[in-house]
Amino acid sequence: MTKSRKKSIWVFGDYRNYYQNRVTLQLISKAMDLAKTIRAEVCALIFGHEIDEWIMEYTAHGADRILAIDDPALKSYSTEKYLAIIEALANQRDPEIILIGATDFGREFAPRLAKRLKTGLSADCVGLDISQDGLLLQIAPSFGGNMLAEIVTELHRPQMATVRPGTFKEIPHDYQRKALVERLPLMKGLPKPRVRLVEYERSVEKEHTIENASVIVCGGRGMGNKEKFKKLQDLAKLLGGDVGATRPVVYAGWADHGALVGQAGKHIKPKILFSFGISGAIQHTAGLGEANFIVAINKNPQATMMKMADVAVVGDASDVLNNLIKELKKRIRE
């Protein structure tokens, strides 16, 4: 196989749970931006069995090229097999950049790939850009999330980053788009995985899709207790939205981990965000970058969240919440 001449930005295709997990589409969209600056192509990697649907989806969402391996041996995700495949392909084709979603699989798999390719990796990036000298700027929280560091990989290739789901916006699909699809044979001598998937069962925990919700009602420690916190769900329901939470609230068991917003949780992009009893620590606000309009309710007008808000209401979080629910119900009845 010959080395591709055009620079290439690879995006690892994680199509499991496709309709909720949009990180690959978000990365393809960001890769399209980066590709314009460094005159590269966007290449999606799709491995698995019966993958035509994903080839079509990634093409419609902006990939210029697809490297696809369709084989029953790849039916379930396997770190060992995927590592061997991507290592071999990367050595043949010299991608400039490899982007991987910071999902459970991506987090397990990306550092091993970077080690094999003898390059660096910035984990859990919350931003990507191209520097003046054409390097990938990998923007990641550091020092416990109190600073954002800009990291570059000057000397080694590929430049590699994992990126939080929800960091970028996917572009709308366009089924007229065309991509060059290279269907590759499964290479011989792949390692025998040490782990075998016996069964797959969906988690019973409520699946939060807050990354894609257009209304989010978020609560913090200022809600006071679990019962009062639960009332946020009533407002979310009335507005057709979802509930988010801060870390102390998740640790206290008032909300499940899927609702966590911030550095260690989800990045959200609602049209309107209600923030009840939240101080606005940087680790929380790191997840709010794309919120369009913020209404904050806090008894302390000096709280950071109140200063960030478009509308700041000084008062007791539960009282304001109850009044809002009452008023909305009244208006719905009228």
CA R_g for the chain: 22
**Chain residues in the site for ligand FAD (CB under 6 A):** 144-145, 220-222, 224, 246-249, 260-265, 277-279, 281, 283-284, 298-300, 303, 316-317
In the complex, the smallest distance separating the C-beta of residue 14 from ligand FAD, rounded to whole angstroms, is: 22
260 Cβ partners below 8 Å, 6+ apart? Answer: 244, 245, 246, 247, 250, 266
Nearer to ligand FAD, 76 or 322 (CB): 322
CA-to-CA dists, residue 205 to 202, 208, 209, 246, angstroms? 9, 9, 12, 18
Burial zone of 307 (CB within 10 Å; 0-12 exposed, 13-18 middle, 19+ buried): exposed
Nearer to ligand FAD, 29 or 263 (CB): 263
Nearer to ligand FAD, 81 or 228 (CB): 228
306 within 8 A of 296, measured Cβ to Cβ: yes
In the complex, the smallest distance separating the C-beta of residue 232 from ligand FAD, rounded to whole angstroms, is: 12
Nearer to ligand FAD, 117 or 296 (CB): 296
Nearer to ligand FAD, 9 or 250 (CB): 250
In the complex, the smallest distance separating the C-beta of residue 249 from ligand FAD, rounded to whole angstroms, is: 6
Nearer to ligand FAD, 119 or 233 (CB): 233
**How many angstroms separate the CA atoms of 245 and 262, rounded?**
9
Bridge partners (DSSP) of residue 85 are none
In the complex, the smallest distance separating the C-beta of residue 59 from ligand FAD, rounded to whole angstroms, is: 34
In the complex, the smallest distance separating the C-beta of residue 168 from ligand FAD, rounded to whole angstroms, is: 18
In the complex, the smallest distance separating the C-beta of residue 312 from ligand FAD, rounded to whole angstroms, is: 11
Cis preceding-peptide flag for 191 (omega within 30 of 0): no
196 token code pair: 């075998």
What's at 312, amino acid-wise?
A
Nearer to ligand FAD, 222 or 258 (CB): 222
What are the phi and psi torsion angles at 316 (to 5°)? -75, 130
Nearer to ligand FAD, 131 or 142 (CB): 142
**How many angstroms separate the CA atoms of 74 and 124, rounded?**
26
> Residue 54: how many CB atoms within 10 A of its CB?
21
**How many angstroms separate the CA atoms of 259 and 250, rounded?**
8
Instruction: State the residue for tokens 């749970």.
Output: 17
